Each structure stands twice: as C-alpha cells, then as structure tokens.
Amino acid sequence: MYGFGKYCRDLTEEYRRWFEYKGVAASALGWDTQRRLFKLRMARVEFGGRWFDFSDAGSAAIIIVCRNEDGEVADLAAWQLGNGDVHLWRGGVAMLGEETCCGPRIGNRLWVRDGVLDWLLHDRDGVVISNFDKAMPILFGNSPLTVSSKRMQRYIFSKWQVPRVEVSN
C-alpha cells in the first residue's frame, strides 16, 4: 500500500466547489481522525476492468482510502466522476465503507448506497459495493439492508443468486 502518496494530491478548488454544489459536507471530504478516515485525494490513473493503476498519462480520478472489516487500510479506490464507476487498486476490499459493517448498529440497518456521491452526501455512512461477489457474504451477514432506491434494490436482488441445488437418487 505504500508509495501511492507520490501520485496523489489534494482536491483542487474546482473539485471542492463541485462537491459543495452537489451538497457534500466538508466533513465527508476532509480528515476525520475520530472515525479514522482519510481525506479524498486526486490522481491520474489508468483503468482496466475493475482495477486501476497510477499513471501520469491517465485520467483524473478521486482516490479514496478503503478499510476492511477490521478497520485496517486494505486498498484504494479510484472513482470516475464522469460515469460513477469505482475501481480498486489491489482488490483488498469488497466495498467502500466496509469497516462500518462490523460496528454496532443497534436498531440501525446497514445502508447500501447508490454510489460514491450518495455515500459522500450521507457523510460516508453505509457502504458502496465495488465487488459484489466478495461483498455478498458480508452483506448477507449484515442483513436486513437498507437502500434508497428501487434501482439499488433490483441490482442487489439480481446479484443475490442462491446456488442451484439438486437432489440425486
């Protein structure tokens, strides 16, 4: 995980204004040591499938530090503002916000957000799925889930495949 800092830089004023225009609170963009979050950064990256790598000749992306269920830094995500896609650097997590899955939620359900912007608008509350196959057992273990749109509900149901079981005589 080390060595990525040389590629990342602070958000430009233009990006900060864009986030403010969209309604994202500054607390979702900046440092939050109490919740052990990192501020959002920018970098140039090359995308390939679900993955990305740093490249001086690549496209601009928002970089998000990702923590696993134990709260340890496990990966980086690159978010493409144009199409909303989330790509991982190493595949160390299944979801952005994964560290919130094991925390206490007495009376509260786990929110599965429609995307990174929705997650940031809610001050990083809940998760954003980046790899459904890896996320499925975590989500299943944390159900019931809460979603804010029928689209997200349909997406989860379409992916939530139970293995086919046959009885043999």
**62 membership: H or E segment, kind and range:** strand 59-67
Bridge partners (DSSP) of residue 95 are: 129
Q: Is 92 part of a structural domain of the chain? A: yes
DSSP state, residue 72 = -
The domain tally of the chain equals 1
Residue 167 lies in a domain: no
Model confidence pLDDT, tens digit, residues 158-169: 887 666 666 776
164 occurs within a structural domain:
no
With a cut of 60, say whether residue 34 has pLDDT above it. Answer: no
- Residue 123's domain comprises 4-159
Residue 88 included in any domain: yes
**What is the pLDDT, as a whole number, of residue 22?**
95
More confident residue, 32 or 144: 144
Model confidence at 1: pLDDT above 50: no
Residue 64 maps to a domain: yes
